[in-house]
Structure formats: C-alpha cells, structure tokens
Amino acid sequence: MAEERKPPFRRLSRSAALRAAPIVLVAIAVGAVWLGYAAGWLGQGASPAPWAAAAVFAAPHVADPARALAGGRDWLNSPPLRPEDLRGKVVLVNFWTYTCINSLRPLPYVRAWADKYRDRGLVVIGVHTPEFGIEKDIANVRRAVAELGVGYPVVLDSEYRIWNAFGNSAWPAFYFVGADGRVRRQVLGEGNYDQSERLLQSLLSEARGAPVTDPIAPVAGVGAQAAPDWDDVGSGETYVGHAKAEGFASEGGLRRGVAAVYRQPAQLRLNHWGLGGEWKVGPEFATLTGATGVIAFRFHARDLNLVLAPAADGRPVRFRVRIDGADPGAGHGFDTDAQGAGRIGAPRMYQLVRQSGAISDRTFEIEFLDPGASAYVFTFG
C-alpha cells in the first residue's frame, strides 16, 4: 500500500509557537515591524499579544479557498457548501482533528464565534483532517462532533485534499477569509483568541459596510477543553506507536509488529515511559494482547491525556489510573473518578489526570483490566 501524504507536524501549541517564534519574527522583520503589523490587523486601540500563544502569519496565497473547500466529499451539520454559498461571506476555516488536544481547547471560542456572528455574515467551517486511522471513520467523527457540541459545518478531509490546497502544516490552524474570497490572515496554534475575534469583527465590518464592535466576552472551556496551565508544562506529546515513539524505557525496546511481553520499569526518568504485560506495537498504536497490562509515564504537567480505543470488536475496556502508586483523588481527570476508575467506550482522547495542587514530577500508571485496548499518544496541558 502506498504511504499516504502526512502533514509535517501534528500540532502547534504555545511551546511550539515559542520554538517557531525566532523564524517567524525574522520573516516579519523583512516585511514590517511587528507592532505596526499587529496593529494593522488587530484594529484601533488593540495591543499586540506576546509571542506566547499562537503564531500569526501574513495571508498565504490560496488560489480559491471556496473551491478548495468544495473538494470535500462528506459534510456534517450541513449539505456540501458550494463556492456560490460562500460568496460575499466572511469565512473562518479551522483545520482540526478530534483526538488532538490542541484542536479541542480552541473549540469553545470557535463555537462562540459561530453562534455570535452567524446572522451577520460569518460562516465557520471545520476541516477535519485526521492523523490516525480511527479519525477517518465517519461514524467516529460524527460521534465526536455531537459530543463536542460542534454545530457548524464540518467537512471531512481524510485524503488531505483541502489541507494541501491551503498549504496547511499544523493542527489547529485558522484561515480568515474576507468577503472578497481572499485569505487575509493565517493563525497556527492555540491562543490569541481576542485578537482573532477582533479580526473577524474587522472583516465583517468591511463586508457589511457598518461597524461590528461587540465586546469580547470571556469564554471558558469545560473538561479537556479548559485552558491549559502553560507555565507548568514540562512534558510534550509522546507517541506510543513505533513510527514516532520516543522515551521508551522498558528493557529490550519496542518489538515492532509482534506480540511481546514487556516488563514495566521499576523507575522512570522524566518524560520516559514503559509497558507492562503482552502488547503488540504497530506504527500508530500499541494494542494490549494479554489479559491485563500497564502503561507508565513519568511526567510534569497539570493535565495528562491519552488517546485510547476499545477492543477491535467494539467491546469496552475497563481501566484504573494511579499517580505515584496511589488513587488520584482530587487529581483525577474528566474521564476517571477519584479512585482512578474509567472505561474506554469509544476511540477518542481521554483526560486521565487534572492535578489540583502543586505541579511536580509524577509517575502515572494506567492498568487495563480487559484485553484489546489500543493506546496512541500522550498529550499534556
């Protein structure tokens, strides 16, 4: 089977934006001074945000955004939107994928903008471009869209047609398209939400010929969609599948594509992880082939998330989470209880830890009590 074209990187969050900032600042310096550049799109009286949240880029050239969006075959929440349906509209295009924490945390803002400005000419379109095979299943995406409260149109982009037409390179990504059909700005990563809303207001004012200057209301996410604690994140995205796995610490290393018995490490260094029990590790994920099994990770963050799927035949899988060998108590995540108990019922991201106290290096363990669970990637916040 030919290898599918994959995006060069999965997500651009605050830490990634900070790493990218020197490159972006050089590019901006060639064309404009940052403050003047920011003021030009943020609007009168707005102050530029620090390079802490999202990377803001000048408008990329996309030959025909409306026609590129029409390349999607499957749409949710809407019939397929044709170029003529978008003519004269301000369009916000959000590239996302439903297992990605960096895609989930902006959703409260995107939902709020869609509701607030729908009657004044804004069309929000979510372009769902998957990374993992489970995200290509339309039933999984439909379930996620409903559970996440996404009511605006979503187009499935499983073949990366729209992604490539936009020249996109990150989740999440936002493209601000004016009523003239041109992309006016590109934002990669989380944050800068107030400035993004001001830009939408500016584009709507231009399209309507009348000012749109609503107050910027506070938005708060719930559960996994809540804002991260960026100041205390010392762990980064870590894949379990062997194609991108790093920091694996079980003796003997990962055995690719075959069922093998692993011994859980007695101790883990920060940002290292290990398996216990019998697992089969494929390129995207590891599947528990034994009756029970464990994954352990030494991490530093308020939140720990893990993308998980139930058994291949759909059977749910029970699990139990521990932090430093004890029940999580008040530090349990949205998908566990105080005793650490939880259940994998659908393929998605599970928030397993949300610490309420001081953040320090901790050892996380998840014990699967039934066979068949698959684990994809750890993320933090």
pLDDT per position as a tens digit, 50-76: 223 477 777 778 989 999 999 898 999
Q: What is the mean pLDDT of each run of 10 residues along the chain (381 residues)?
A: 36 42 33 31 28 62 92 94 96 98 98 97 98 97 98 98 96 97 96 96 97 94 93 96 98 96 97 98 98 98 98 97 98 98 98 95 98 98 96
- Give the burial string for 24-54 (b: 16+ CB within 10 Å, else e): beeebeeeeeeeebbeebbeeeeebbebebb
Domain ranges of the chain: 14-225, 230-380
Architecture of domain 14-225: 3-Layer(aba) Sandwich (3.40)
The pLDDT value recorded for residue 204 is 98
- Give the burial string for 90-106 (b: 16+ CB within 10 Å, else e): bbbbbbbbbbbbbbbbb
Q: Does domain 230-380 have CATH number 2.60.120.260?
A: yes
